[in-house]
Amino acid sequence: MTLIRPKSLCDLALEHLRQQIIDGTLKMGQMLSERGISDELGVSKSPVREALAQLREEGLVLIEPQKGARVFSLTEEAVAQLCDFRLALEGSAFDLALARSAEALANEMDLNVSDMERAQKAGDISRYLALDTEFHQLIFKHCGNDYLTASYDRFVGKVAALRTHLSKLPGHTAMSFDEHRALAQAVRAGDGTQIKALLKEHIGRTRQTYAQSLHLLQGADG
């Protein structure tokens, strides 16, 4: 019999805040009140403080002396660095995953893309964005390298939050789906060169789209 360890108050606060940042409920740059969060969740300020410290490690929260905590915000340069980080890690993980378990990766990506298509047709953007995150995590699931996976996991929430903000732009989700489908097809074909080219195009479009739409996204966040 396996006993399931109950989640601590810190874990509950952490999951709650992380999800609210990722789904855009908490806006980029928004100030966070420890007292307000503790009252909302019905917990003391201690687990909230621990959760905020963990979110700072994930790059989702900034904590400044005498000012307190606020949700992260991204400049054009910060997005460029994040995209460079993703391209380096995902490219390396793809090489390992294809060498280690190409068919298993292809099978799971095909299923993921089918689910993405259903979510897109249903207009379920929240579900679509979660599947987008899962698609990229599949690369690390099959690469067999714990160090690459841990490096990516540390900032996966920040990447997911950026996806949420970009999804507000007209046509972005449709283009995103086409790119994921093309990537899955290249994985099925075992075409490493094409995969690298498609990945560079996919992540590069994120960089370019954010740079071109920064003022619109900031306006949407108030």
Three-class secondary structure of residue 79 per DSSP:
helix
With b for 16 or more beta-carbon neighbours within 10 A and e for fewer, the 68-93 pattern comes to ebbbbebeeeebbebbebbbebbbbb
Three-class secondary structure of residue 43 per DSSP:
coil
- Closest residue by Cα to residue 48 from 18, 14, 19: 14
Query: Which pTM does this prediction carry?
Result: 0.86
Three-class secondary structure of residue 69 per DSSP:
strand
With b for 16 or more beta-carbon neighbours within 10 A and e for fewer, the 38-59 pattern comes to beebebeeebbbbbbebbeebb
State which H helix or E strand residue 71 sits in.
Answer: strand 68-71
Q: Which fold does the domain 76-220 belong to in CATH?
A: Four Helix Bundle (Hemerythrin (Met), subunit A) (1.20.120)
Token couple for 153: 């996991």
State which H helix or E strand residue 61 sits in.
Answer: strand 61-64
Can you give the pLDDT of all 222 residues of the chain as single tens digits? 444 455 788 888 999 999 999 999 998 889 998 899 999 988 888 999 999 999 999 999 998 888 889 999 888 898 999 999 999 999 999 999 999 999 999 999 999 999 999 999 999 999 999 999 999 999 999 999 999 999 999 999 999 999 998 888 888 899 999 999 999 999 999 999 999 999 999 999 988 888 777 665 555 454
In this structure, the number of other CB atoms found within 10 A of the CB of residue 23 comes to 15
Q: Which fold does the domain 9-71 belong to in CATH?
A: Arc Repressor Mutant, subunit A (1.10.10)
- Break the chain into its structural domains and give their ranges: 9-71, 76-220
Specify which residues 62 forms β-bridges with.
70
pLDDT at 176: 94
> Edge-to-edge strands of the sheet including 68-71?
31-32, 68-71, 61-64
In this structure, the number of other CB atoms found within 10 A of the CB of residue 64 comes to 8
State which H helix or E strand residue 206 sits in.
Answer: helix 192-220
Break the chain down into helix, strand, coil percent, rounded to 5.
75, 5, 20
